[in-house]
A and B are shown apart, each in its own frame.
Chain A
Amino acid sequence: MRTIRFEDIVANLRNACIKANFELPNDVYQALNAALDKEQSPIGREILSQLIENADIARTERIPICQDTGTAVVWVELGQDVHVEGGFLIDAINEGVRQGYLEGYLRKSIVADPLRRKNTGDNTPAHVHIELVPGEVFRVTVLPKGGGSENMGRLAMLMPADGVDGVKKFVLDAVEKASANPCPPGIIGVGIGSTFDGVALLAKKALLRPIGERHPDPFYADLELELLELVNSLGVGPQGLGGRITTLDVHIEVAATHITSLPVAVNINCHAARRVSFEL
């Protein structure tokens, strides 16, 4: 049994929220540079150069990459032999988010209630997913998720007969309809299988994987590459103004499903694909 202290979770969460909003992950930064080499549209190239410069300014000047500093999505891989000492894990996460968003001058974008819409003032509550894993691991990923891209997410319960073609069609349709709104090019997260609620979570989980890392199953690795090619043939382009690069990558996560079901979900991330992980 390993013990992890409440205060350590708070402090690390705080720092991760700030770092994530100022420092674009290296894989995303490199993918933007690679995209600049490939893009044919002059306006698309202009935008990609702006995005690279933007990431540079954010990192050196300590200004958020984007003013929408997002919902604090917090993914915890929690070993079953880990014990949190000094308080409730969720409270520690929320306290870290509160401190990070206040002290980092990040925007507070959370309303307490979806219809009465009063801002909570400190960007809490965080949106927490806990994945129970064997052993003594305590690994946390913070993914500040912008509203513009989150709002373009879609989910469908397809028929098994729709098969892989149905999935491809659904993904392409989602990206095309999203157009400029999710600030392309970013990452397309695709969930396939599981249940109605589970498939959305798979799509979100797909956004945690670094750009260029393929699904371990060759079948899905190939499907990712095929979808990447198809999405980048849509013409949507950087910021939806037309071009070759509509997404930097496509990531798929899959799970077992019922004999009657083929759930599929698309969760889009923007070019500000912010992500910081730490382990305690």
Chain B
Amino acid sequence: MKESQEYIALETPLSNSDVERLKSGDKVLLNGIVYTARDAAHKKLVETLREGKPLPFNLKGAVIYYCGPSPAPPGRVIGAAGPTTAYRMDPYTPELLKNGLKGMIGKGPRSDYVRRAMVEHKAVYFAATGGAGALLSQRIKAAKVIAYPELGPEAIRELIVENFPLIVVNDIYGRDLYEDGQRKYRRLP
């Protein structure tokens, strides 16, 4: 685990060489387009893939943000917009990784099978600070619903983010910051 205070600037879509240089524990500032999707949207995405139909956005190199924002008050692009718990997306994730997804943003640990799929397909999982919805909302410069508006807060939104602060949890080398970080600071037998 690295503990440098330096931020790595990243731009979406992510390439293999982008993810190859990311290590568990790195701090990242992300720029570009990310797509929001939660459980219900994931279900639809995977169903669409299985039917062989086109997805509402290009998955190649894409970054998905597990987020269901609060409503945008008048004059703002979005309401509070922090990450939601990631493990609920695990059952759908390997299929998306197989089809080109390169990054995921959420909070909380992933299942072993998702971690293996990240190594296999060269993708990374970032943590955004859970519950920092007000701060993160200020780093979102544009937001529009691009699919499944009927899902309300769970619709797929295209967000343009600027210097979105993230921490690499799972890198393509199989490391996991939840495990490594907690072990490092544990003082109980």
Q: Chain A interface (Cβ within 8 Å of chain B)?
A: 40-44, 46-47, 50-51, 53-55, 57-58, 61-69, 105-108, 119, 146, 148, 151, 172, 179-181, 183, 230, 233-237, 239-244, 270-272
How far is it, in angstroms, between the C-alpha of A93 and the C-alpha of B130 when the chains are bound? 29
A residues near B30, Cβ cutoff 8 Å: none
A residues near B61, Cβ cutoff 8 Å: none
Number of residues of chain B lying within 8 A (CB) of chain A:
48
Q: Would you mind naming 26 contact pairs between A and B with Cβ atoms under 8 Å apart?
A: A41-B3, A42-B3, A43-B3, A43-B27, A44-B185, A54-B132, A55-B134, A61-B138, A63-B73, A65-B133, A67-B67, A68-B131, A107-B71, A108-B152, A148-B85, A180-B178, A230-B188, A235-B182, A235-B186, A239-B129, A240-B182, A241-B169, A241-B181, A242-B180, A242-B185, A243-B181
The answer to whether A64 and B80 touch across the interface, beta carbons within 8 angstroms, is: yes
The answer to whether A241 and B178 touch across the interface, beta carbons within 8 angstroms, is: yes
The answer to whether B109 and A179 touch across the interface, beta carbons within 8 angstroms, is: yes
Q: With contacts A54-B132, A57-B134, A179-B178 known, what are 19 further pairs, Cβ within 8 A? A: A40-B185, A43-B177, A51-B132, A54-B129, A63-B133, A66-B80, A67-B67, A67-B68, A67-B82, A68-B82, A68-B131, A105-B71, A107-B68, A107-B71, A180-B127, A183-B107, A233-B187, A235-B182, A241-B181
How far is it, in angstroms, between the C-alpha of A57 and the C-alpha of B177 when the chains are bound? 28
> Which residue of B131, B138, B165 has the most chain A CB atoms within 10 A of its CB atom?
B131
B residues near A236, Cβ cutoff 8 Å: 182
How far is it, in angstroms, between the C-alpha of A67 and the C-alpha of B73 when the chains are bound? 12
The answer to whether B133 and A64 touch across the interface, beta carbons within 8 angstroms, is: yes
B167 at the interface (CB under 8 A from A): yes
Distance from A37 Cβ to chain B, minimum over Cβ atoms (Å): 16
B93 at the interface (CB under 8 A from A): no
CB under 8 Å from chain A, chain B span 109-130: 109, 127, 129-130
How far is it, in angstroms, between the C-alpha of A241 and the C-alpha of B107 when the chains are bound? 10
Distance from B74 Cβ to chain A, minimum over Cβ atoms (Å): 8
Closest residue of B by beta carbon distance from A172: B188
The answer to whether B188 and A105 touch across the interface, beta carbons within 8 angstroms, is: no
